[in-house]
Amino acid sequence: MNEIKPLPHIAVMKPYVPGGKLHGQSGPAVMLASNENPFGPSPAAIEAARSVAGDVHIYPDPDYRELREAIAAAKGIADASRIATAAGSDEIIHLLTQCYAGPGDEVLFTEHAFSMYRVSASAHGAAPVTAPETDMTAGVNAILGAVTPRTKILFLANPNNPTGTMLPLEDLKALQDALPPHVLFVVDGAYSEYLGPDYEAALSDLVDRRGNTVMMRTFSKIYGLAALRLGWAYMPAEIAGIWQRIRGPFNVNALAAAAGIAAIRDDAFLARSREHNADWRALMTDRLNAMGLNVPVSHANFVLPDFGSPGRAAAAHQFLKDQGILVRAIGGYGLPSKLRITVGSAGDNERLLSALAAFTASR
């Protein structure tokens, strides 16, 4: 018997629950559980990853200069030295928490926030604290009311996953201005591309407005590179300096870096993905509402029908699964009567909608 024990806060923490895969299914599976791009990656990104595959015996450029400059150029950011890249935005959440919060500190997020904020706070020994939401949105006052002298980081996904709701820009600015100086404000723009370039630029502007804000982004959603694990953040120079101390020197793999450069330059692919999402999100919202499933307005690439009770949502989840359709149960987010459904390809969306029409007609 050995006596190897994890740190006490690690011993009690709960792991992240991913969207999952359908195993042992006959026929094509419809995967609408993880907010992936139904078009897949940009063909230019696949080609770029292929073109470096023969060189994977060589370490990547530890500065990721070309990648950071491509991101800066595509997103209108003047200073690429304040862009950091990472193995998915999950790594950004972890690294920022590692830098700024530990035992005795609090990490704040909203009641139904993306669950990695809690996982990361717990993993670093900080206390996760939630601000209450009304109608699945936490207002500025509710968030400020949950700030204490121990709060070190406020994570806010805007739009949020899994609710699809968001605060208007004016509220983000009000929040940013009112936060006490010891709180780092991290705005998670994982779904910001679905709102368009003006909104994306406005998030970058938030970082420039004050020294207390980091904006983080991912290549996993609209850019369709989830499996490559690539995220980026735009931050004040001082925080970028701290980041450089603790990140792994090669934290982004060379295939991801090459694919990311090509993906972020492919404006046509981005626009096509955004339009498809807006069209189908509206259509799915209407048709699910017509089934009585009460879908709130979503600003992201998923919708959130309400089945009226946890039991009916669980039955719908299983009914869909039995037909090879995987959507996300979100009881773990405190929303057990709802299911989160990614906007997929036209064919997959139709399959989902007809399956749910059959479900709602029978129970």
Ligand X SMILES: Cc1ncc(COP(=O)(O)O)c(C=O)c1O
Q: Which residues of the shown chain bind ligand X in the complex (CB under 6 A)?
A: 35, 88-90, 114, 157, 161, 188, 190, 218, 220, 226, 231
- Smallest distance, Å, CB 322 to ligand X? 25
The DSSP symbol for 20 reads -
In whole angstroms, the minimum distance from the beta carbon of 44 to ligand X comes to 20
Cis, bond preceding 336 (omega within 30 deg of 0): no
- Quote the CA–CA distance of 29 and 327 in Å, as a whole number: 11
Measure the CA–CA gap between 110 and 172, rounded to whole angstroms: 14
- Min dist. Cβ of residue 112 to ligand X (A): 11
Shortest spacing between CB 215 and ligand X, in angstroms: 12
8 A C-beta contact, residue 146 and residue 130: yes
Give the residue with the Cβ less far from ligand X, 35 or 360. 35
With left for phi above 0 and alpha for psi between -120 and 50, is residue 20 left, alpha or beta? left
Looking at beta carbons only, is 299 or 312 nearer to ligand X?
Answer: 299
Q: Which is nearer to ligand X, 220 or 298 (CB)?
A: 220
Measured from the CB atom, the residue of 110 and 360 that comes closer to ligand X is 110
Strands (E), 87-240: 106-110, 127-131, 151-157, 184-188, 213-218, 231-234
Least Å from the CB of residue 318 to ligand X: 23
CA 256 to chain centre: 18
Nearer to ligand X (CB atom), residue 285 or residue 301? 301
AA identity, residue 307 = F
- Residue 290 CB, shortest distance to ligand X, in Å, is 28
Nearer to ligand X, 163 or 360 (CB): 163
- For the bound state, the minimum distance from the C-beta of residue 161 to ligand X, rounded and expressed in Å, comes to 3
Amino acid 45 reads A
Q: Pick the closest to residue 23 from 254, 334, 326 (CA basis).
A: 326
Residue nearest to ligand X (CB): 88
Taking the least distance from each CB to ligand X, the nearer of 161 and 360 is 161
**Residue 304's closest CA among 35, 40, 93?**
35
C-beta of 5: minimal distance to ligand X in Å? Answer: 29
The nearest distance, CB 221 to ligand X, in angstroms, is 7
Cβ 164 to ligand X shortest distance, Å? 10
C-alpha separations of 176 from 40, 95, 141 in Å: 35, 21, 12
Q: Which is nearer to ligand X, 252 or 355 (CB)?
A: 252
Contact 35, 161 (CB under 8 A): yes
Residue whose C-alpha is closest to residue 353's, from 272, 296, 281, 274: 281
Long-range contacts of 280-286, Cβ-Cβ distance < 8 Å, separation of 24 or more: 280/343, 280/344, 280/346, 280/349, 281/343, 283/349, 284/341, 284/343, 284/349, 284/352, 284/353
Q: Select 217 or 287, whichever has its Cβ closest to ligand X.
A: 217
Give me the DSSP letters along 29-56. Answer: -EE-SS---TT-S-HHHHHHHHHHHTTT
Question: Among residues 109 and 359, whose Cβ is nearest to ligand X?
Answer: 109
Backbone angles phi, psi at 327, to 5 degrees: -120, 180
